[in-house]
């Protein structure tokens, strides 16, 4: 994918976040949205982080999806530097099961908004980014409508299976 086709940056502070962040990448790929993926620690390599966040817009990034656990500084720090939308994904785990990260991301100070999805919500973060980009992209909007229809089709198929095999045999 050409550099000018990359619209979303997925960033995480640790490779332990990869199972969640890969769900975001999968959705972006399915929708044909160019993305980059980075492991950058705002705490352990602050200079590299500041360079990343300051240069993101110049690289054509329109939305940052930032995953973080515990104190969850990565999404907020991205939002403090990057002038366009940031979506935070709180990571589960840790002593508080991800609630600490959730609260850290949603409790940003006035003037530094971070959109936030559920704990471990990688797929929804990508879908939210896609919706933001679709505001000015009718082809992407059509892909999102088709994606939603696909979700409906999945539910209809599951209901049909339930009616055919009954609840006792549904998961066998």
Using only C-alpha atoms, what is the Rg of the chain? 18
Q: Identify the burial level of 127 via C-beta atoms within 10 angstroms of its C-beta, where 0-12 means exposed, 13-18 middle and 19 or more buried.
A: buried
CA distance from start to end of the chain: 42
**Dist. CA 4–CA 10, nearest whole Å:** 16
Non-local (6+) Cβ contacts of 80 within 8 A are: 112
pTM of the shown model: 0.93
What is the predicted pLDDT for the residue at 4? 63
User: Would you say the C-alpha torsion 125, 10, 79, 43 has a positive or negative sign?
Assistant: positive
Q: Are 67 and 74 in contact (CB under 8 A)?
A: yes
| HSE (side-chain half, CA atoms, 13 Å) at 134 | 17
pLDDT band for position 18 (50/70/90)?
very high
The residues near 35 (Cβ < 8 Å, ≥ 6 apart) are 6, 7, 8, 9, 10, 25, 28, 29
Q: What is the pLDDT of residues 108-165, one digit of tens each?
A: 999 999 999 999 999 999 999 999 999 999 999 999 999 999 999 999 999 999 999 9
Task: Provide, for the chain, the percentages of residues in helix, strand and coil under a 3-state DSSP scheme, each rounded to the nearest 5.
Answer: 55, 15, 30
Which residues, in sequence order, are CB contacts of 21 under 8 Å at separation 6+?
A: 10, 12, 37, 65, 67, 89, 122
- Closest C-alpha to 105, from 132, 86, 85: 86
pLDDT tens sequence across 73-113: 899 999 999 999 999 999 998 889 999 999 999 999 999 99
pLDDT at 76: 95
Contact by Cβ (8 Å): 144, 134? yes
Single out the residue of 122, 105, 95 nearest to residue 29, CA to CA: 122
pLDDT at 3 over 80: no
């Amino acid at each position: 994918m050409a550099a000018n086709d990359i619209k979303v940056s997925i960033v995480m502070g640790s490779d332990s976040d990869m199972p969640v962040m890969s769900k975001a990448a999968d959705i972006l790929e399915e929708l044909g949205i160019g993305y980059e993926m980075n492991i950058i620690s705002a705490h352990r390599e602050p200079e590299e982080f500041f360079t990343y966040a300051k240069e993101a817009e110049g690289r054509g990034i329109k939305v940052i999806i930032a995953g973080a656990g515990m104190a969850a500084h990565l999404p907020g720090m991205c939002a403090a530097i990057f002038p366009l939308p940031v979506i935070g994904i709180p990571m589960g785990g840790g002593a508080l099961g991800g609630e600490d990260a959730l609260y850290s991301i949603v409790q940003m100070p006035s003037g530094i908004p971070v959109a936030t999805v559920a704990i471990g919500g990688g797929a929804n973060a990508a879908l939210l980014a896609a919706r933001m980009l679709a505001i000015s992209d009718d082809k992407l909007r059509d892909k999102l409508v088709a994606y939603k229809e696909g979700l409906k089709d999945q539910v209809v198929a599951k209901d049909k299976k339930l009616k055919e095999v009954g609840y006792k045999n549904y998961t066998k």
